Structure 1
Amino acid sequence: MTEVHRPPLTADERTQLTGWLDLQRSFVRMKCDGLSEEDAHRKLLPTSPLTTVAGLVAHLRWVEYSWFHLNLLGVPDTGQTPWTEDGHPDAEMFVDDVPLGRLLDEYDAECACSNEAIAGLPLETVERGQPADKAASLRYVLCHMIEETARHVGHLDILRELLDGTTGYTRLTETTA
């Protein structure tokens, strides 16, 4: 398991925002560590059958793509996303036949692409993929992605506990720089 670090206590705003997002992202892989394929795809919630570990990882991957590339950068969707006009609103979570390792690798790659895409952008940068009166700043998007990722890490935490009793976060250290 990888050791993860909280962002520095006195860092600038951008370092804090990206640091907290990266920390939450690291917990996704941590929550999946050592999980079997069967358990990663196990449907534990009768009223929410798409809420599986694998489904949440896939959802987080596409949320990254949607917020950072489609919305913020305004990259047009050329059919690469799982969503279609008449399709299921949670189509990204239909991953029963996709191995968890592949989903995690795709999520990690998407997170790296997101980080690369925003590296040179000021926090005041406004979404290009939204109408001007509904466009959010990069600062807003980062705050939202921290919230979104942390919420789903909580879901992963609950699912993992239900699957095999594993709880908590290990190897989390404070950064003092």
Structure 2
Amino acid sequence: MANDGDTDALYQESEKATLHRSLDRVRDAVLWKLEGLDEEQARRPMTPSGTNLLGLVKHLASVEYGWFVESFGREVEPLWFDPYTDEDMTAGPDETTERIIAFYGRARTAADQVITELPLDALGHPAWRKHSVSLRWVLAHLIAETARHAGHMDIVRELIDGAAGDHRASAV
């Protein structure tokens, strides 16, 4: 295999850049799971608990706002649901795929601003926890949380139309 200088650079970047890149990779997998689906498919409950793709994206947007933005003292956009209940796991009739994807995009942008501006050892103070957390811990936690739900989404998407994997297949 040829040695690609650009690829080598990925393995030599800073800890923060590596963590952020890892988060972005699973975030992108989440969005890929909605590509090409109509509204009915995106919100179709595929498990006995009602898990659906759109609800999972709404939940992930909510947790990005909570962990990255609210915990580090930044302003969260006004939410139209209670993020401390299962309301963030469901998509109501007025919550279109477009609306939820835009919400996820805004949460992601707000989180990225915190990640960019603060050092990894900066402490955040989640209102729902007794202890402070470092940005490093939040990044690791959100990589795991997002990857976990991307796995759920992979199964749900496969049940809908057979598409599986963490990224779109390359054209050969």
Question: Would the aligned equivalents of 2:67 and 2:126 in 1 still touch at CA under 8 Å?
Answer: no
In structure 2, the residue matched to 1:93 is 89
1:153 aligns with 2:146: no
Q: CA RMSD in A?
A: 2.5
Query: How far 1:170 moved relative to its partner?
Result: 2.5
Taking the aligned partners of 1:160 and 1:110, their CA distance within structure 2 comes to: 23
Using the size of structure 1 for normalisation, the TM-score is 0.81
Question: Would the aligned equivalents of 1:41 and 1:52 in 2 still touch at CA under 8 Å?
Answer: yes
Taking the aligned partners of 1:131 and 1:96, their CA distance within structure 2 comes to: 25
Question: What is the aligned-residue identity percentage?
Answer: 35
Taking the aligned partners of 1:131 and 1:164, their CA distance within structure 2 comes to: 38
Query: How far 1:78 moved relative to its partner?
Result: 8.7
In structure 1, the residue matched to 2:102 is 105
In structure 1, the residue matched to 2:58 is 58
Taking the aligned partners of 1:13 and 1:126, their CA distance within structure 2 comes to: 17
Query: How far 1:109 moved relative to its partner?
Result: 1.7
Taking the aligned partners of 2:141 and 2:112, their CA distance within structure 1 comes to: 15
Gap regions ≥5 residues in structure 1? 173-177
Higher relative contact order (CA 8 A, sep 6+): 1
Gap regions ≥5 residues in structure 2? 1-6
Taking the aligned partners of 1:140 and 1:113, their CA distance within structure 2 comes to: 18
Query: How far 1:31 moved relative to its partner?
Result: 1.1
Question: Would the aligned equivalents of 1:58 and 1:92 in 2 still touch at CA under 8 Å?
Answer: yes
Q: What SS does the aligned partner of 1:44 have?
A: coil
Query: How far 1:105 moved relative to its partner?
Result: 1.5
Q: What SS does the aligned partner of 2:123 have?
A: coil
